[in-house]
Amino acid sequence: MARRTSRRAARSRAVLCLIGLFVLAGFPAGAQPAAPAVVVNGQPLQLDPPPAFRGGVLLAPLQGLLEPYAATGGWDPLTRTAQVVGPRGSRVVFRAGDRVAVVDGQTRLLPVPPEVAAGKLLVPVEFLFRALGAWVKWEEVSSTLHVASQILRLVLDRAPGGLRVQVEATGPVQVRTAQLSQPDRLVVDLVNAASRIETREVTLGEFGVRRVRVAQFQVKPYVTRVVLDLDAPVDVEVAPSASDVVLWLRPRPGAVASGPSPPAATPMPTSSPEAVATPSPSASPPAPSPALAPSSVSPDAPKILEVTVERQVGRLRVVVQGDRPLHYHARELPDPDRLVLDIPGVFVPVKQELAVGGPVEVVRAAQFQTDPDVARVVVQWQMRTRYEVVLEDGGSRLVVVVDDVPSQPPRGGHVVAIDPGHGGKDPGAIGATGLVEKDVVLDVGLRLRDALRRQGVRAVMTRESDVFVDLADRVPIALRAGATVFVSVHANATTRGVIRGVETYYLKPDSVLLATLIQEELGRSVGIPDRGIRTANFKVLRDSPIPAVLVEVGYLTNLEDEALLRTPAFRQRVAEAIGRGVVRFISQVPALQP
């Protein structure tokens, strides 16, 4: 017996040796995984201490991160706080050991808290630059976090004797210009800039500029290219600043422009803001500008006669009336969340903007493009809800039917607002193996909505897709929908990976019972540790005039919790448990309107 065991052990050692030889043959001697690096606006950063991961989140010293992005800030070891100011005035405040940061006056949960090493504050790099409006992308192969400024929009204005082109960016960009011939065009390369501009082309026809085109020309480094197709040579002057760049274009002496020069300092016709760009949620919205229109329109040209909003019980209708059959292309866009309808072959004589209310904040109609004509109708959501697009009257009437519009606040019945945390550009916490909080909580929130509706409870969502909703907007969205109960869904994170379990937070006395009943159901149903109810000064709890709780459905930084949260079955158990707690609450507490 002992002899057989010895031979078996010898064979095992031989197999292990062979495996070791194959492994060594497959990798160069001394090869190590690449150390994480940070590149900001094309500049590799030399940081001390070097960037390192904590709980799956990249931390780096604040000192050395900011200058390439033209941001400023400092660390105060006495108060253990740091304040960062971005090129466009965004303000971020960190406190060592605190998982809550303040971004432009709003509290935001951090994936991991900042920490101090060698007298320097280490901050979550991706969170910081996203808060400043930057484009951030992790490259797995080189273990590098790339950060670039974002181009928000172009503004074209008449100026004395020429054209003023303002490039609005979230951070500094380098500008390279070149004039090319056959055909004549001016090429403007914005280096270290990622484009967020949706419209790729705008027809102009003034100052010798026939057309303006925008595209992402390359990455690593990021280059946004603006091409101005010319009818006549121009002189160009560039005036860069910390973020925005201004180009002055003036026809060269003796050059003939394509049309008469309008009076100086008069707003130049441009497309509507939707046609030019998607502004950053943290940026001020652009001022409305006149729609781009052809110089003359035939009386027989196809037209949009009017755009109206009709209110009905339980729904509203956005009606686009044409003078002949219409065709359309529909798509959904984020930040802000909206439905865009492009209608080719027709002209909008007068730009319209209709304030609506309820789930629809505003409806806009404007000329998106000429030559060929394309009209654009935008339905901007205040709260995402069900809708359908239909054609009526032989196709000449295009209608967006929006459902679930409360004609009045419910009487004697509760409306539960479900608030899946984070979303869009804000991922929330990142799990031990990469699971993202915004995805988990959206799925749980949708399952909770369905569970409540199956029990006859009316439920509304602050978001129903992967879109960014500002923290300050979440409670107002719920209240506008008539909510009487507010439930925010999150997944937790900590630097201590052994911590796991579910917990429910409340702040005000009217929310204690709601938190208790939800936590009771979670504790008895989901099979992970019950961490009880707790108090916290979260903004959604502080702002809510109705009973409100924030539920943490597990710890993404714990491998066991994260593995469970990956499964649809566990998410369903969590959603149903929260739903049972909510139903117990509303059966005991009458609905009070805020």
> Residue 102: how many CB atoms within 10 A of its CB?
17
In the beta sheet, which residues pair with residue 332? 339
198 is catalytic: no
CA distance 65 to 389: 47
Peptide bond into 183 cis (omega under 30): yes
**Which of 155, 335, 160, 182 lies closest to 246 in space, CA to CA?**
155
Phi-psi region at 208: left, alpha or beta (left = phi > 0; alpha = psi -120 to 50): left
One-letter amino acid identity for 552?
Answer: E
Question: CA angle, corner 410, sides to 409 and 412, nearest 5?
Answer: 135
Q: Are 249 and 187 in contact (CB under 8 A)?
A: no
CA distances (Å), 435 to each of 99, 151, 441, 493, in order?
19, 29, 11, 11
C-alpha separations of 307 from 113, 358, 391 in Å: 50, 18, 14
Q: Which of 331, 348, 332, 345 is nearest to 395 (CA)?
A: 345
Catalytic residue among 552, 560, 562, 576: 552
Question: Angle 365-212-260 (CA atoms, 0-180°, nearest 5)?
Answer: 90
Asked if 384 and 325 touch (Cβ cutoff 8 Å), the reply is no
Give the whole-angstrom CA distance, residue 199 versus residue 212: 10
Kindly report the CA angle at 159 between 153 and 161, in degrees rounded to 5? 135
Tokens representing 315 are: 């729904």
C-alpha–C-alpha distance, residues 361 and 377, integer Å: 14
Rounded-to-integer distance, Cα 234 and Cα 397, Å: 45
Say how many CA atoms lie within 13 Å of 409 toward its Cβ.
14
298 DSSP assignment: -
Torsion of CA 100, 120, 37, 557, to 10 degrees: -40
Buried b (16+ CB within 10 A) or exposed e, 306-335: ebebeeeeebbbbbbbbeeebebeeeeebb
Contact 86, 40 (CB under 8 A): no
Which alpha helices (H) appear in 123-192, and where do they start and end?
125-131
At 490, list the tokens.
């999150």
* Residue owning tokens 């006495």: 78
Residue 330 has φ and ψ, to the nearest 5°, of: -110, 140
Active site members:
552
